[in-house]
Amino acid sequence: MNKTDPGQLSIFNPRGWGGKRKGAGPKRKGPKKVSHRKRETFRPKQPIHVTLKFRKGLPSFRSKRYAKIVWLALTFACNKFDVRIVHFSIQKNHIHLILEAKQKESLSKAMQGFCIRIAKGVNKVFRSTGAVFADRYHAHILKSPAEARAALAYVICNTRRHALHNGHRYKDGWIDPLSSALAFDGWKTPVKLIITGGKDPPVLEAKSWLLTKGWRKHPKISPNEIPGAHMPFRKKRARAPLP
């Protein structure tokens, strides 16, 4: 076989096609999955911001029927397996939690139990079986007063962020009834809440230094604060009616 034969160039030329190449193959579509690498270890004094995403095709979890499922699961899980849920926010297709855990194993057990209760509640309503969450939970360890302050604002003001993204704004002083905003004591100005059911948020008082004193090294949180307000949004900014 003649190596100079043009017909054999792709075989003998190392720059030709063939073989394993970085980035080759079909590209994945859809939202980025949570990495399955070993989770970062943390100390008991470090609070954690956890995000759980629901799979596509489910109704909004801000509807009364589905919000109740999450609310009951929070009531059960807020102090289980050495994990304390301090703050939360229920959004249409995901949940935000800020919690304190003694160790990584405790966090895993608590999240497993929490997700199972939600999945059972949802499947009972749908009279079906199967996965309810899109992926495993994402955990971000809070390591500084600035991170703690940012996480608190992000979670309890998360609804304002999504409203802005959709071209709406809530009235000044309004706080989200499907969050732990009512239990938060670090507001910069007075807040307003339309009571839904008359039940206090199923959370516990924080014990970690970062969530009790550390974050207060930075300015208090305004109920009108919009986390990530620099994000792109539509031009329409009609005021959204209070829920």
Averaged in consecutive runs of 10 residues, what is the pLDDT profile of the chain (243 residues)? 47 48 54 55 86 94 95 94 95 96 92 95 90 91 96 96 88 92 93 63 95 96 84 44 47
25 lies in some domain? no
C-alpha distance from residue 23 to each of 11, 20, 26, 32, 189 (Å) = 21, 9, 9, 16, 51
Long-range contacts of 197-205 (CB under 8 A, 24+ apart): 199/71, 201/88, 202/71, 202/74, 202/75, 202/78, 202/85, 203/74, 203/78, 203/85, 203/86, 203/87, 203/88, 204/78, 204/79, 204/84, 204/85, 204/86, 205/86
Per-residue model confidence (pLDDT) at position 23: 57
27 lies in some domain? no
Number of domains in the chain: 1
226 lies in some domain? yes
DSSP reduced 3-state for 142: coil
Per-residue model confidence (pLDDT) at position 124: 93
Query: Domain containing 60 — which CATH number?
Result: 3.30.70.1290
Per-residue model confidence (pLDDT) at position 2: 52
Domain that holds residue 146: 48-239
Sign of the Cα torsion 97, 99, 103, 105 reads negative
40 lies in some domain? no
42 lies in some domain? no
17 lies in some domain? no
Per-residue model confidence (pLDDT) at position 44: 79
19 lies in some domain? no
